[in-house]
Structure formats: structure tokens, C-alpha cells
Amino acid sequence: MNFNTERYAQMQYRKCGNSGLKLPAISLGLWHNFGDVDVYDVFRETLITAFDNGITHFDLANNYGPPPGSAENNFGKILHKDFVDHRDELIISTKAGYTMWPGPYGDWGSKKYLVASLDQSLKRMGLDYVDIFYHHRPDPNTPIEETMTVLDLIVRQGKALYVGLSNYGPLEAAVAFEYLKKLGTPCVIHQPKYSMFVRKPEDGLLNVLQEFGVGCIAFSPLAQGLLTNKYLNGIPSDSRAAKGIFLKEENITQDILDKIKMLNNIAENRNQTLAQMSIAWLLKDERVTSILVGARNKMQLLDSLHSLIHLEFDKEELEAIETILSK
């Protein structure tokens, strides 16, 4: 495979907290669109387009698909077919923390589950190690010392280079960061849901990440598609909301639809799509290392990449956006 030789000149790379790791401003998530239910040639083209444009970070989890595990399987096939000579140029991450197999050992945050899950993930992808291994969500029934000790163990075993957390609140994250620091395997990155419509990380989490020198990679930056032009004229029949997938139609009120239209007007004045402006709005915060985008195809990914052309906001734009969001 002959990739674009200018790919690294086309991307911005940001330091991940206090670590030596740098991530592209936009990373590619394989949560949707890379399972066995999807078209192989389409998502292969998406992965190639990503790397051709300087996206070096591909983010997975054990249960991504559907069916669970199929995204890792498919990624592994493409990795060894098209990226075999470029493994050391890539940051590959995976996670465990949600239900993956039946019984008491296929979920949450025990040592039994996390070690077994990562071993399975490595086998599916055909890898000796991942660059980042995340605990996907806090486990209320497992001592946090156990979960953090497992993350430390996995690094010492050489199965991951770095560890991260996802979906932890600020207090839980701070406790976890302290444990990992004492163990000698500091957390380098946290992955929260964050968008114009979901701003919970601003309630303490971003400050905790800054205090501990941990990077932030935001997932669902387009609020499951709400912050795109798809909903400008109501709820389309082929949308996730209409199908009840992750979004519920009854939760998309007229107030939300009105906000989408007003935000889109600001985006148009910036010569951006609403999606592009939504990504740029997150990247304005230097505490945010990278934005994790999904892409149904090559064109959707290229649209997201165009957000990097115009990241600056003037005071009036930020005030107008804040006024809309606070209504």
C-alpha cells in the first residue's frame, strides 16, 4: 500500500497531558461502521483515508461491532493487509469494561475479566501489544485498587504501552489517577462523552485532568449525529433517533431542533458545516488532546477533517454559541 507521503504535514498533533505521547487532533473511532454487519470495502477505504490524512490513532473496544469483537477482527485483517509496514506509526487502543461474554467474569473491572479481555483483543487484532488500554467504565463492585493494579500489571507485562480511563467522573478519576501514579504507571488519557450538547466534563473533570497531567479525548463530539445537518429539517426516517438506536426520538424536543438550526447559522457564517464547527469548538480548549470521530464512509471522515482548517473563534461567536446552548 502506497500512502500519501505528505500525510503528517496535513495533521495537527497535540501532546497528551504530561506524557511524551502525541495524538492527532482528530482520531478515528471504530464504535460503529466497522462490524460484520457493515461493508468491508467501505470501512477499509475509511481507514486508509484516515492514515493518508495523518490520523495515526485508531480507537477500539472489545465489544465494538456488531457482533461484539468483530470490529477488532476486521481492523486486524486490514492492519495486516494494508498497514503491516506502518505498525510503529500507529496508536491502537482498545478497552474493556462493558459486557463481552456471559457469566460473572465477562464484564466490569475485575482482574479476571480485564486480563482475559485484553488477551482476546490482542488475538483478534493479531497484535503483541496495544498502545493504550482503557478501563471502559468504573465498577462499583470491584475495589478500585484491584482495577488499577491490573492496568499496571498489563503495562509491566508488555501488553500495553499506556493506560487510560473512560466514563469516570472527576472524583473517581482523581482516586484512580493517584493509585496509578503510586504504582508507577500513570494514566495518560481519559475518554469522556463531550460535545456542545453534553458538557458534563466541564463540571470538574477537565480540571482534574489538567491537575494530574492527563490528556482528554472526547467521544460522541457530534452528540450521536444531532450536531450535523441531518436534523435541520426535523428527524429523518433513517436517523439513529428514528430507529431508537442510542438516541430516542421522544428526547429530541423542538427546543433541541431550534438550537441545532441556530448553531448551524453560526457555522454557515464561519464557512463550516455544523459538524465541523462542533469539532472545532471542542478543540478550542487546550486541555482537549483529540476528538474521536466516527465515520460511515470516506466522505464523512473528510468532512470532519475539514474542521481543522478553521479552529479559531472570536469573542462574539463564542458568546452567541453560549447563549444558544444555555437557553
Residue 309 CA, distance from chain mean position = 21
Q: Is 15 left (phi over 0), alpha (psi -120 to 50) or beta?
A: beta
The residues that bridge with 190 in the sheet, in sequence order, are 165, 216
Tell me the helices (H) and strands (E) count for the chain, helix number first: 11, 10
Instruction: Tell me the whole-structure pTM to 2 decimals.
Output: 0.94
Q: What share of the chain is helix, strand, coil (3-state, %, to 5)?
A: 45, 15, 40
- Round to whole Å and give the CA distance between 33 and 42: 9
- Domain residue spans of the chain: 7-225+275-313
Q: What's the rounded mean pLDDT across residues 160-173?
A: 98
From residue 242, alpha-carbon distances to 220, 260, 295 in Å are: 18, 17, 19
Residue ranges of alpha helices (H) inside the chain are: 40-52, 70-82, 111-125, 144-156, 170-183, 205-212, 240-243, 254-269, 274-283, 298-305, 315-325
Average pLDDT of the chain to the nearest whole number: 95
What fold does the segment set 7-225+275-313 form as a domain?
TIM Barrel (3.20.20)
For 21, phi then psi, to 5°, come to -80, 135
- Say if residue 325's pLDDT is above 70: yes
- Say if residue 250's pLDDT is above 80: no
What digits encode the pLDDT tens for the residues 271-281? 999 999 999 99
pLDDT confidence tier of residue 236, bands split at 50, 70 and 90? low
Query: Going by C-beta distance under 8 Å and a sequence separation of 6 or more, which residues neighbour residue 323?
Result: none
Q: Higher confidence at residue 101 or residue 239?
A: 101
What digits encode the pLDDT tens for the residues 65-74? 999 999 999 9
Q: Of 184, 183, 178, 242, nearest to 212 (Cα)?
A: 178
- Round to whole Å and give the CA distance between 170 and 188: 15
- Round to whole Å and give the CA distance between 196 and 191: 16
Q: Of 151, 142, 85, 87, nearest to 109 (Cα)?
A: 142
Angle, helices 298-305/40-52, rounded to nearest 10 degrees: 30
- Round to whole Å and give the CA distance between 28 and 31: 9
- HSE-CB of 30 using CA atoms within 13 angstroms: 36
3-state secondary structure of 4: coil
